[in-house]
Amino acid sequence: MGRHKMANKAGHRGFGRIRQLPSKRYQASYVGPDNQRHNAPETFRARIDAEGWLTAEHRLTEDPATWTPPAARLEAARAAAERQSLTFAEYAAQWVDGRMVRGRPLAARSRDYYRSLLRDHINPTFGDVSLDRITPEAVNTWYATLAPGHATTRGNAYSLFRSIMLTATSVHGPLVGHVNPAAVRGGGSVHRETRTKVATSAELAIIVETMRPDRRLAVLLACWCQLRFGELAELRRADVDVDKAVIHVRRSVARSTEAGVHVKTPKSEAGSRDVSIPSHVVPVVREHLSTYAPKRNDLLFPGADGQHLAPSTFYGRPDVYDDAGNLTRRGHGWYRARQAAGREDLRFHDLRHTGAVLAAQAGATLAELMERLGHSTSAAALRYQHAAENRQQVIADRLAALAEAGEW
């Protein structure tokens, strides 16, 4: 009767075995290529159903190299079904929690930012959609109306979405073998609609003069030493070598919903650096240290409680005037200082940009800019070099004006 013999009275077959249980249901099993007996993952109401299962399993055992036990196949199928039924929001939350960069978990502020992009710009469209249901057409439609008028947010939101879907469709994701549906050409690129206008020496002088005396140095160090606010807020007396005119940048303070206020080390080796202080700033540094931070562990710019200075405290608020031009509320801090200089568009971080452009104009090479700014890649430093090159026309125009006025 060939390889598939009919079962005898005891329930034995040419391949496999079927037996009736006390429940009157039928159990099927067989000895596989691994010489182990394997039961069907379920029992059967009718004997013919058990025979059908054995027939299908027999075909699979004809190629021992590709055969896997039925229990393992069932588990793999269940896992695949569970993975593919994940919604984007569920998977994205797991992705953010487990994301590693250069072998280190995401910084708390980065996680906060990613979660805000998901909450405000991605999950409203894809949050409840199963990963395997997200199509290129849906992505293109979403991108067309994503964060209108906010190029940076648009580029960052798309880049995050693309990265999450790339992981989902890679060898470690739940959609292995699928094509990443995020395929908008140039979708993650950010083209700045306006260029930052650096502060002039006159504007910087007004800002410094308007600031509280104990915070004037923070403005100078942001510009002339290109320090970030978080680095300034954690800077301590021991980090400053006045005799050698060097600031040792080793830590910064950050704030996040998850971790609160916390001190952290730079995210790359380049961020830990020594920055030379220009000679015209050294006397201001020396006076500030003796007046406001005499002890080794003193913060250079503490908050009112002696702890780390909060951005909101430093930024303060601008003066407020009524329609007749009368002062109705006195401002303070950075916002009032920049207002006094006529630069309400100037962000505090733009002082770092200003200093970087000035360093490039002073002849700093790309490598020197990267070292001074604490950058691990050249992209940002190149922007400052380009900005310095763009100043050539300004210089030429001033030279022409001098010639026309005969002032040479």
Tell me if 86 sits within 8 A of 130, measured CB to CB. yes
Contact 160, 99 (CB under 8 A): no
Output the six-digit token pair for 19.
Answer: 């037996």
Q: How far apart are CA 234 and CA 14, in angstroms?
A: 79
Q: Order across the sheet with 240-241: list the strands.
A: 240-241, 246-249, 273-276
d(C-alpha 375, C-alpha 78), whole Å: 46
What distance lies between CA 349 and its chain's CA centroid? Answer: 18
Instruction: Give CA 341 to chain center in angstroms.
Output: 34
* 384 part of the active site: yes
Instruction: Name the catalytic one among 330, 349, 386, 398.
Output: 349
Closest CA to 320 of 328, 309, 312: 328
Contacts of range 327-336, beta carbons closer than 8 Å, 24 or more positions apart: 332/212, 333/211, 333/212, 333/215, 334/207, 334/211, 334/219, 336/210
Report the residue count for the chain. Answer: 408
Active-site residue, 113 included = no
Nearest residue to 234 via CA among 252, 255, 215: 252
Which residue in 17, 162, 338, 352 is the catalytic one?
352
- Sequence-separated (6 or more) residues with CB below 8 Å from residue 109: 254, 255, 256
Determine which one of 73, 216, 228, 248 is catalytic: 228
**Tokens 């800019």 -> residue:** 369
Let me know if 375 is a catalytic residue: yes
Pick the catalytic residue: 30, 91, 315, 384?
384
**Which residue matches tokens 């050409």?**
185
Q: What is the DSSP string of 157-176?
A: HHHHHHHHHHHHTSTTSTTT
Cβ neighbours for 3, distance < 8 A, ≥ 6 positions apart: 14, 15
16: left (phi over 0), alpha (psi -120 to 50) or beta: left
Q: Which SS3 state, helix, strand or coil, does residue 326 take?
A: coil
Does residue 228 carry a catalytic annotation?
yes
352 assigned to active site: yes
Bridge partners for 274 per DSSP: 248
Q: Which of 336, 372, 375, 383 is catalytic?
A: 375
Q: What share of residues in the chain are helix, strand, coil (percent, to 5)?
A: 50, 15, 40
Quote the tokens at residue 28: 């099927």
How far, in Å, CA of 140 to CA of 130, rounded? Answer: 17
Q: What residues are annotated to the active site?
A: 228, 349, 352, 375, 384
